[in-house]
Amino acid sequence: MSTQKVRQPGQSKDTDKLIRRLSLVALLLSRGGQPVSAAEIRSRVEGYPTMTEEAFKRRFFEDRDELRRLGIEIRSHEDPLAETATEAYSLPADAYYLEPVALDGDELAALAACLAVLEDRFAYSQPLRLALLSLAQGRPELVTEAEAPPLTVLPEAHGPVAALPKLQAAVAERKTVTFSYYAITTDTESERIVDPYGLQLVAGEWYLIGWCHLREAVRTFRLSRIRSQVRFHTRRPHDFSPPDDFDLDAYRDRPAWQLAEPRGSARVRVSPAMAWWVEAHWAHCGRVDHEDDGSIVYETPYADARPLLGWVLGLADEAELVEPAELRAQLRAQLDGLAELLDAPAPPRPTAARSTERPRPARPRRRRPATDDLRVEVDRFTRLTALASYLMRACNEDQAVLDVATVRSDLGVTAKQLRDDVALLNMVNFGGDGLLLYAEFTGRGKLEVSCELAGPTLARPARLSPLQADTLLLAIELVGAHLPTATGAALASAADKIRAVRGGAPALAGGDLLLPADEILRDVNRSIVERRLLRIEYWTEGTDVVKERVVEPYLLVHSRGEWYYVCWCRTAGGTRVFRVATTKSARLLQETFEPRGDVELDLYRREGVPASGAYAPKAATVWFSPVVARWIAERQPVEPLHDGSCLASQPYVDVRWLASHLLRLGAEARPLEPPEAVEGVRAVVDRLRETYA
C-alpha cells in the first residue's frame, strides 16, 4: 500500500493549520517528553520549513496558543545544547493524553445512557459521543451498546437553532460576533455587536450571555430572536477575554424578577395550602419564615416589579403582597384596571373588507439549513485526533480493514466528514520521517488502514477539550443526575470527576423553569428501577384539591423545562402523567408491581408530555393588550387587532386554573367568553380587591 503524501489542490489555510498542528503534536509526543529545539521544530514539522524566521515564530506561537485553548499545553524550556539562550519545547504524555478520570462501570454506563437518551435530539450530540468514546478508552461498544433507560429528555423546544454552531465557535474562540436582533420588549430590530461569554439552555430555549457593545452591559439574547446570520466581527484569532468575575452559574435558575441588579425587597404571605409549593421551588431565590398557622412569609429581592406582581397574582387567594407599600399599590392598580376591563364592552373584531391595494410580494423565504448544519461539532482538531486514535486502536499487526458504516456510527460523523478527515490524516507528516497512517476507501464500503511509523503516538485518546467536558456536564444537567439506574448517584459522581478534569468555569449551562424536588425525583427513580408502588400527594394546579394516589411509575420525562413521570394510576384506573413540581410528597411502598403491557410509552419518549391544551375539554377566548401581545404571538396562534392587541384561544380544564393563569398578566389580559370564564376571573378579582383595599 502506497504511503506517499499527496497534497490536495486548492488546499485551504485551515487545512494547512490542522496538518501543521497534528505534525507538531506527533513530533513532540514521539520524543517522550524530552525538549525539542525551536530550530528542529522549524526544520521538521510540516509547513514550517518554507516560512521565514518571523513567519515561523508567529505561526508557531499561534499554533501553541490554539492547542493550549484545547487543553494541550506545550511546555517551554531553555535549550541546554544551544550556545546562545534559545528555547526548546516539550509535550509530556500527561499534557496530551486523556487524564485518568477514573470512572467506574456504573458511571460510564450512566454517561453512555445520557447519549442514548439525548442523541438525535440534542444539538451537541457529536461532542458528547466523541467525549464518551475517549472516556471509554476507544472501546466504542461500551457507548454504542448502552441501553436506553426509562427516561426521555426533549432538550430543545423547536429543534436545533441555526445560530447555535456559530455562537458556540465564537464562545470557544473568544470571537466578537455581530447579528441583527429583535428586542421583543420594544418591538424593534437592531444590529448588535456582542462578546459571547456563554450559552444557556432553559426550558428548551437557547440563550446567549455576553457583553453587548450597544448597551455597554452584559445582556442575555434569546437565539430564536436573532434575525440574521451570525458573523465574526473581525478577522483576528481572538477578540476578547471574559472578565475574571464572570460566572455563568449566576445566570441559572433565576426568577424573572431577578434578571438584573435588585432595587428592593418584597415580602409575600403565602397560605398554608401553598406554603409547601413556594418553599420547594422558590426558597433558593429568597428567604422563608414560618408562621404558627402553617403559612409562610416569603421575602425576595427584585429588580423588575412586573414579573413579581404577576407571580403573586398568579397565586390568587393563596398569597398576599405585604410590602413594600408602593408595590402593593401597583398591584391594587392592576386589579382595578382588570375590573374595569371586565366591565367594558368587548373589542370589535376586524371585518374582512375587500382591498383595492395590490398585495405586497411575499418576502422570499430563506432556505432552512439541513439538520446537520444546525448541530454543534467539535473543533476539527479534536475530531481528527479522535479518528486517529480510533484507527490506530483498530490496527492489527499494523493493518486493518474496517466497515465504513461502523466507523461513522461509532464516531457520529457524516460520510463527507469521514472522507475529508481520512484525506487530511493521510497528509500528516511525522517530523519529516514519515506519515501517521495511510487509509483508503474501497468500493465495498470498507476502509483499509495501515499504521505508519508515528501512528502509535496517537493511539491513546487525547485530553477532553473544554467543549467536550462542558457537553458532558450539560448532558448530566439535562438528565438531571436522576437517571433511573441501579446506582442513583452515578451521574452526580461522574460530574464531580469531569469538573475536576475540566478546570475553570464551563461555558455551557442548563436550567429549569422550576427546580425539581430532589427527594421526590429520587423516590420516583427508585420506584421505576425497583418496580415498587409509590404513594403520592398530588396537587392539581389551579384547584384546592390535594389528592392521595397510589401509582406505578414507568417513565421519567424532562420536557419544556419541567420534570414529569408517566404512571399507571391505581386510584384513577388508567395511565396518568404527574408533574414533579406539583407533587407535594412521595413515599415508596414495599409492594412491587408487574409492568403492564397496555401502558403506551413510545409517544412520550418521542414527543414528551403534551401541553395541557392538547386534551383540555374547554377553551376561552382571551383578549391580550398590545403590551403583551407580542409575547403571546411568539408562542401560539393569535388573531391580531388594529390597535396592536390580539385575541387567542386558551384551553383550560378548570376555571380556577384559568383565572390564576390570566391574573399573571394583570390588567393586560381578559377573557371574553365563555361566560363562566369571565365570571370566574371577576370573582377572584373582586376578592383580591377587598384584600388590597
Residue 113's pLDDT band, with cuts at 50, 70 and 90, is confident
Mean per-residue pLDDT, 608-633: 83
Decide: 89 and 38 in contact? Cβ < 8 Å. Answer: yes
SS3 427: coil
Does 6 score more than 50 pLDDT?
no
Q: What is the DSSP string of 232-283?
A: ES-SSS------TT--GGGGSS--GGGSS---EEEEEEE-HHHHHHHHHHHG
Residue among 169, 131, 78 nearest 465 (CA):
131
Per-residue confidence (pLDDT) for residue 395, from 0 to 100: 78
Residue 367's pLDDT band, with cuts at 50, 70 and 90, is very low
Does 45 score more than 90 pLDDT?
no
Ranking 120-134, 178-192, 660-674 by mean pLDDT, the lowest is: 120-134
Ranking 303-312, 518-527, 668-677 by mean pLDDT, the lowest is: 518-527
Mean per-residue pLDDT, 455-479: 81
Does 530 score more than 50 pLDDT?
yes
262-343 adopts what CATH topology? Alpha-Beta Plaits (3.30.70)
Residue among 517, 631, 624, 652 nearest 256 (CA):
631
Q: Which residue has the cell 436506553?
A: 148
Question: Highest mean pLDDT range out of 142-156, 547-561, 677-691?
Answer: 677-691
Residue 266's pLDDT band, with cuts at 50, 70 and 90, is very high
Kind and range of the H or E run holding 217: strand 217-222
Does 624 score more than 80 pLDDT?
yes
Residue 355's pLDDT band, with cuts at 50, 70 and 90, is very low
Alpha carbons within 13 angstroms on the beta-carbon side of residue 245 total 1
Decide: 149 and 117 in contact? Cβ < 8 Å. Answer: yes
Per-residue confidence (pLDDT) for residue 489, from 0 to 100: 73
Q: Which three cell numbers stand for residue 273?
A: 395550602
Q: Which three cell numbers stand for residue 90?
A: 516539550
Mean per-residue pLDDT, 204-230: 93
Residue 467: alpha-carbon gap to chain centroid: 13
Mean per-residue pLDDT, 172-197: 94
DSSP state of 407: H
Per-residue confidence (pLDDT) for residue 254, from 0 to 100: 84
The mean pLDDT value of the chain amounts to: 84
Does 82 score more than 70 pLDDT?
no
Residue 297's pLDDT band, with cuts at 50, 70 and 90, is very high
Identify which has the larger pLDDT, 552 or 96.
552
Mean per-residue pLDDT, 264-284: 92
Q: Which residue has the cell 457524516?
A: 414
SS3 63: helix
Residue 358's pLDDT band, with cuts at 50, 70 and 90, is very low
Q: Which residue has the cell 424593534?
A: 188
Does 481 score more than 80 pLDDT?
no
Q: Which residue has the cell 442548563?
A: 510
Per-residue confidence (pLDDT) for residue 453, from 0 to 100: 60
Q: Which runs of consecutive H residues, i.e. helices, occur in 294-449?
A: 305-314, 325-343, 380-394, 404-411, 415-425
Residue 615's pLDDT band, with cuts at 50, 70 and 90, is low
Does 80 score more than 70 pLDDT?
no
CA angle 218, 219, 221 (to 5 degrees): 150
Ranking 35-39, 139-143, 238-242 by mean pLDDT, the lowest is: 139-143
Ranking 118-127, 169-178, 298-307 by mean pLDDT, the lowest is: 118-127
The rounded distance, in Å, linking the Cα atoms of 427 and 21 is 12
The rounded distance, in Å, linking the Cα atoms of 303 and 259 is 7
Mean per-residue pLDDT, 191-197: 96
CATH code of the region 518-607: 2.30.30
Per-residue confidence (pLDDT) for residue 620, from 0 to 100: 93
Mean per-residue pLDDT, 314-319: 90
Whether a cis peptide bond, with omega within 30° of 0, leads into 674 is yes
Per-residue confidence (pLDDT) for residue 429, from 0 to 100: 67
Per-residue confidence (pLDDT) for residue 366, from 0 to 100: 43
The rounded distance, in Å, linking the Cα atoms of 54 and 60 is 10
Alpha carbons within 13 angstroms on the beta-carbon side of residue 98 total 27
Residue 154's pLDDT band, with cuts at 50, 70 and 90, is confident
What percentage of the chain reaches a pLDDT higher than 70? Answer: 87
**Tens-place pLDDT, residues 7-38:** 454 456 778 888 888 888 888 888 888 888 88
Give the CA-trace dihedral at 53, 57, 60, 65, to 10 degrees.
Answer: -170
Decide: 527 and 588 in contact? Cβ < 8 Å. Answer: yes
What percentage of the chain reaches a pLDDT higher than 90? Answer: 34
β-partners of residue 403 are 446
Per-residue confidence (pLDDT) for residue 543, from 0 to 100: 62
Number of residues written out for the chain: 693
Residue 502: alpha-carbon gap to chain centroid: 18
Per-residue confidence (pLDDT) for residue 561, from 0 to 100: 81
Mean per-residue pLDDT, 290-315: 94
Residue 312's pLDDT band, with cuts at 50, 70 and 90, is very high
Does 678 score more than 70 pLDDT?
yes
Does 2 score more than 80 pLDDT?
no
Domain positions in the chain are 13-96+380-458, 105-157+465-511, 164-253, 262-343, 518-607, 618-691
Q: Which residue has the cell 373584531?
A: 349
DSSP state of 227: -
Which residues have a Cβ under 8 Å from the Cβ of 649 and sit 6 or more positions away? 619, 620, 621, 622, 637
Per-residue confidence (pLDDT) for residue 349, from 0 to 100: 75
Mean per-residue pLDDT, 194-210: 92
Decide: 60 and 36 in contact? Cβ < 8 Å. Answer: no
Q: Which residues of 299-324 are buried (b: 16+ CB within 10 A; e: fewer)?
A: ebbbbebbbbbbbbbbbbbbbbbeee
Identify which has the larger pLDDT, 192 or 604.
192
Per-residue confidence (pLDDT) for residue 112, from 0 to 100: 86
Does 669 score more than 50 pLDDT?
yes
Identify which has the larger pLDDT, 604 or 311.
311
Does 229 score more than 90 pLDDT?
yes
Q: What share of the chain is helix, strand, coil (3-state, %, to 5)?
A: 40, 25, 35
Does 503 score more than 50 pLDDT?
yes
Q: Which residue has the cell 458573523?
A: 231
Ranking 90-94, 99-103, 398-402, 649-653 by mean pLDDT, the lowest is: 99-103
Per-residue confidence (pLDDT) for residue 207, from 0 to 100: 93
Ranking 23-27, 359-363, 408-412 by mean pLDDT, the lowest is: 359-363
